[in-house]
Structure 1
Amino acid sequence: MTETTPRKAADITDEMLDHARSLIGVWLRRDVHWPSYAEDIAPIDIRRWALYSTGDDNPLWSDEEYARRTRWGGVIAPPTFLYTIDSTIVAPGLRGVQWIYGGTRWENHVPVRPGDRITAKARLLKVEEKSGARARRLVVQTGEILYHNQREELVARAEADVMRVPRRTSGKGMVGFEKREREGRQVWTPDQIEEIRKTYLGEERRGSQPRYWEDVQVGDELPAVVKGPLTLVDIMAFYVGRRNTYPPLKLAFQERERHPANVYVSPSTGIPVHPAAGHFDDEIAHEVGMPGAYDQGWMRANWIGHLLTNWCGDDGWVRRLNVRLHQPNLVGDATWCRGTVTGRSVENGRHVVEIECWGETQRGERNVTGSATVELPSRAL
């Protein structure tokens, strides 16, 4: 069978699961040839991630003169920047079975700054078989990723969930999105677009004005942050903001030689592509099991981070962030990110608040939920 011959997608077998489970606890090789490992972080890396991958124009991420006047004394990276060092995808084995980002639990210890060189190591923690309304059989692989800087400080720890679901041509792919597939992309009226425009222009950012722990109460609502309507340009910009991405052209063919089972061959064009092309191409999205072209799930994790940093201000610190995805976010969808304060406490001398956060689409569906622990300045210190 040649590379350009459409093939039946792989199903999940017991042998594949046994192989995947044999890798639990093994520290896995992360590609040391990517610039994210070989080069120090430049200001443009942080600026691109904040602006293009997140849509966050906070000058703390990009303006050195502004940032020098903050508690940090210089530019730092947004709380989800480490996705661009290592994707948090720890899903060895199960070749030819589609992976779908499920969510990440972040613990942030020290900020990332220009000039840092971050390395990551990862291992698989568990492999769980599940079934549900969307798939008769799926697997969730949970991995641990440790990020260290050049001073050997632990910058952050992440636990990430990756769902492995057979593709549609296996005969056992995801189901339940047929109605959305028939409906096609969301159509917006000029009045609706105008309302979103006003929301963007009126976005609240605390910035240099401290939000003190003593002034926060349980039940306080975070000002909403809108994202969308999602376009292919937004998804492309997300890729532009990353320090590494999927290989193109000759490099793509070399990658397919190493991992032929992951190749998707378009039946309409005969062109072999990486299945991540489903983020741009409806045909490939349908093979993955999605109703249409969809975002990369990390985008919504970034958006929740944006919601939090807008609220807490430049003196705040997102210490923990737990994000879980629920519904596909399709081209044409808009998401309103919201949050509520659920608790206040002092942890080891740190004044922190607990926040429940979520994203809700124009259809009234929550496509992402999360929780966060945010450290705030205290008037007592």
Structure 2
Amino acid sequence: MSVTTDQQAEFERASSGVFVEEDLVKDRTALGRLVASRQQEYLSTATPEAIRNFAHSYGDDNPLFCDPGHGETSRWGGQIAPPIMAAVLNAPLLGDKDPLAKGGSYRGIHAFVSGGTWTWYRPVRPGDTLYSLSGLESVETKQSEFAGSSVIRVLRDIKVNQRAEVVGVYRTLVIYTERKKARDKGKYAEIPVPSWDDAQLAALDETYAAETRQGRARLRWEDVEVGQAMGAKAKGPLTTTDMVIFHAGGYGFVPYGLKTGRRGWENRQRIPAFYVKNEYGVPDVAQRVHWDNAWAQAIGNPRAYDYGVLRECWLHHFLTDWAGDDGWVERQHDEIRKFNYQGDAQVLGGEVTGKRVEDGRALVDVAVWARNQRDEETARGAATVALPSREHGLPVLPAVPAELSRATTEVMARHGELLRERRSR
């Protein structure tokens, strides 16, 4: 479906928002400030079913995450979540308000998640509820080939469980572009529409069929060599169904969210700039660029495209399968380099770039990537994985920096105080 005249007119109306200096001033004031996140994500507590469904939402069937019985006989003594699930879990955390920490709103500006960096310290287990200390770590402006002026923000979330233990730290790179400028550039308009024949699908199916997971067959640190290939993993071709399943598994896109009925109407009153009329004249979420080809074309893309977070999860799937039941992915850095459009397929790969022993942990550094059927690199990353070792034994979890432990302990204590005050009223 192509963009209609009415959609173009609606696009012009919705794209009237441009960058304003006030937003940048607010961002610079907010730098370095951490506040208790009051966001209620779709999921806040990791139940066994929620863990399984989240893993399935990006195609991961690892029994360590999906089968509680398998986890009971593993080194973890029970089911654990894929570490990256910490990204979608959040319960409201009570804390003192800091109006200077809010930053700019960037109303009407299109946002792209362009990558992120995770450090994980503890597994998420069934029954764990996660909270966040959140803040803006950096902000800069630049000229983008795709969309003219852009604002690049790095958001930091410190994820903590109900025991005041730091689970991980997530830094998200988000690029904000003015929609009209993005469309006018038209840089991606000539990308060919995929048309898969049976032979091409059969070749992709061979990659799926050949995928391996270490599981309980321990990959030991001593057996890993620099330059060693890590295998391949297939994803796609991308469909609208993939987007639906990812949301159904727990990705909520809060604070915007997807809501229906009266709740959708209430959300439209709260953030009207997030809603743009579709070809039927019905206000719908601007977020539909991820499943609505016509709206994606209205902002300068040839077709709907995936979430950057989904490809982060794909790379994580690749890493956790390679690490096996006894390994631990300590760090993951990824960069989204190109769009992954509907109809595109990705093949993930990687290689070992280094190995070392640090604080008694046998660590392996790796590079990972995703390439589409046009042989374009659409995502790249680097990770550190702790592996079992004949000399050093099973990997222990990394130590949480003291300043993070202090900050989260104080914030959770304040949360408890405010909760008691609320209940005593």
- 2:238 is aligned to 230
Aligned partner letter, 2:250 = R
Q: Secondary structure of 1:22's match?
A: helix
Q: Give the TM-score, by structure 2 length.
A: 0.82
Structure 1 position 209, deviation (Å)? 0.7
- Whether contact under 8 Å (1:61, 1:75) holds in the other structure is yes
Query: How do residues 1-381 of structure 1 correspond to structure 2 at under 5 angstroms?
Result: 6=10, 7-9=13-15, 10-28=17-35, 30-37=37-44, 40-52=45-57, 54-85=58-89, 92-168=104-180, 175-180=186-191, 183-184=192-193, 186-242=194-250, 244-245=252-253, 246-249=257-260, 250-266=262-278, 268-380=279-391, 381=393
Q: Which runs of 5+ in 2 are unaligned?
A: 1-8, 92-101, 394-425
Structure 1 position 301, deviation (Å)? 0.6
Structure 1 position 29, deviation (Å)? 5.8
Aligned partner letter, 2:221 = W
Q: Secondary structure of 2:27's match?
A: helix
Q: Secondary structure of 1:75's match?
A: coil
Structure 1 position 271, deviation (Å)? 1.3
Q: Secondary structure of 1:142's match?
A: strand
- 2:416 is aligned to none
Structure 1 position 291, deviation (Å)? 2.2
Structure 2 CA distance for partners of 1:361 and 1:79, relative to 1, 3 Å: same
- Whether contact under 8 Å (1:85, 1:120) holds in the other structure is no
Structure 1 position 165, deviation (Å)? 0.5
Q: Give the TM-score, by structure 1 length.
A: 0.91
When the two structures are aligned, how many residues end up with a matched partner? 367
Structure 2 CA distance for partners of 1:161 and 1:173, relative to 1, 3 Å: farther
Q: For residues 98 and 173 of structure 1, what CA distance do their matches in structure 2 show?
A: 14
Q: For residues 121 and 221 of structure 1, what CA distance do their matches in structure 2 show?
A: 37
Q: For residues 351 and 335 of structure 2, what CA distance do their matches in structure 1 show?
A: 17
Structure 2 CA distance for partners of 1:114 and 1:323, relative to 1, 3 Å: same
Structure 1 position 112, deviation (Å)? 0.5
Moved more, 116-125 or 193-202: 193-202
- The CA deviation string for residues 322-348 of structure 1, in whole angstroms up to 9 with x for no partner, is 011010100100001000100000111
Structure 1 position 125, deviation (Å)? 1.2
Q: Secondary structure of 2:222's match?
A: helix
- Whether contact under 8 Å (2:36, 2:132) holds in the other structure is no
Structure 2 CA distance for partners of 1:164 and 1:111, relative to 1, 3 Å: same
Structure 2 CA distance for partners of 1:8 and 1:118, relative to 1, 3 Å: closer
- Whether contact under 8 Å (2:90, 2:130) holds in the other structure is no
- The CA deviation string for residues 14-55 of structure 1, in whole angstroms up to 9 with x for no partner, is 233223333323335634444534xx3211111011112x20
Structure 1 position 377, deviation (Å)? 0.6
- Whether contact under 8 Å (1:143, 1:159) holds in the other structure is yes
Q: For residues 264 and 205 of structure 2, what CA distance do their matches in structure 1 show?
A: 38
Q: For residues 119 and 309 of structure 2, what CA distance do their matches in structure 1 show?
A: 16
Q: Which runs of 5+ in 1 are unaligned?
A: none
Question: Could you say which structure has the higher helix fraction?
Answer: 2
Q: For residues 206 and 8 of structure 1, what CA distance do their matches in structure 2 show?
A: 49
Aligned partner letter, 2:47 = A
- The CA deviation string for residues 57-87 of structure 1, in whole angstroms up to 9 with x for no partner, is 1101011111111111111111311221259
Q: For residues 169 and 132 of structure 2, what CA distance do their matches in structure 1 show?
A: 10
Percent of aligned pairs sharing the same letter: 33
Q: For residues 127 and 315 of structure 1, what CA distance do their matches in structure 2 show?
A: 38
Q: For residues 92 and 28 of structure 1, what CA distance do their matches in structure 2 show?
A: 15
Q: For residues 266 and 298 of structure 2, what CA distance do their matches in structure 1 show?
A: 23
- Whether contact under 8 Å (2:183, 2:299) holds in the other structure is no
Q: For residues 62 and 23 of structure 2, what CA distance do their matches in structure 1 show?
A: 45
- Whether contact under 8 Å (2:41, 2:90) holds in the other structure is no
- Whether contact under 8 Å (2:34, 2:133) holds in the other structure is yes
Aligned partner letter, 1:334 = A
Q: For residues 65 and 260 of structure 1, what CA distance do their matches in structure 2 show?
A: 47
Structure 2 CA distance for partners of 1:265 and 1:29, relative to 1, 3 Å: farther
Structure 2 CA distance for partners of 1:91 and 1:301, relative to 1, 3 Å: farther
- Whether contact under 8 Å (1:76, 1:113) holds in the other structure is yes
Structure 1 position 299, deviation (Å)? 1.0
Aligned partner letter, 2:112 = I
Calculate the aligned-residue CA RMSD, in Å: 2.0
Moved more, 28-37 or 205-214: 28-37
